[in-house]
Chain A
Amino acid sequence: DTGVSQDPRHKITKRGQNVTFRCDPISEHNRLYWYRQTLGQGPEFLTYFQNEAQLEKSRLLSDRFSAERPKGSFSTLEIQRTEQGDSAMYLCASSLLSGSPNYGYTFGSGTRLTVV
């Protein structure tokens, strides 16, 4: 297992276009999280899945954002009608359920989105 994979690493898009990012978690991890990180800030929680169920969404996740995790494996994050304020690093992480001795987040390398 090579850890959490995110694709693409970088995406430049024009304002108003739709973009989709993919995250492949560590295979045995039940939980998958999406975070957004803007310059000079720590990551901010967007949403998380336990298996295929989306259990929580942040208020940061506007109606233009949608995330899926079909079959509880990989996940996609789609942003519709992108705006310049969406420019950020989008980080995916996965974890086992809490209570496991090996509980802890493993982050991917992120997708850097630039909206021009």
Chain B
Amino acid sequence: AQSVTQPDIHITVSEGASLELRCNYSYGATPYLFWYVQSPGQGLQLLLKYFSGDTLVQGIKGFEAEFKRSQSSFNLRKPSVHWSDAAEYFCAVGGMEYGNKLVFGAGTILRVKS
């Protein structure tokens, strides 16, 4: 069965600093990979997704993620964090073999200090 691990429950970065949120997945076939962001009390907004092709994907709000099959990872990065990026970030994996339902990690809460 597929699973997703986000090792960091909380991360604090200074505004303007770079950010990397880690995501490791377990999946038997070619995965579909997603990063979502959630503000308190809100639903999830899609940041970016990977299906195939170029392993470096660009998303909204200046985020990017790199798929590394050898490491089963799909880490999210941003070169310069803004205070408005403070939120909870979820990595998710899915695929046709599992009816396209997504399995989510437990999330990483990002705090931005000024």
A contact set with B: CB distance below 8 Å: 4, 6, 31, 33, 40-45, 48, 55-56, 91, 93, 95, 97-99, 103-110, 112
Contact = CB atoms under 8 A, between A and B. Distances in A.
B47 to A, nearest CB: 11
A40 B107 CA distance: 8
B43 A109 contact: yes
A103 B107 contact: no
Contacts of B19: none
B42 interface: yes
Interface string B37-66: 000011111100101000000000000000
Contact of B105 (A42, A55, A56, A104): A42
Interface residues of B, number: 25
Interface of B: 4, 32, 34, 36, 41-46, 49, 51, 90, 92, 95-96, 99-107
Given A43-B44, A56-B99, 16 more contacts: A6-B43, A40-B107, A42-B104, A42-B107, A43-B90, A43-B102, A45-B102, A48-B100, A56-B101, A91-B44, A98-B100, A99-B96, A104-B34, A104-B46, A110-B43, A112-B41
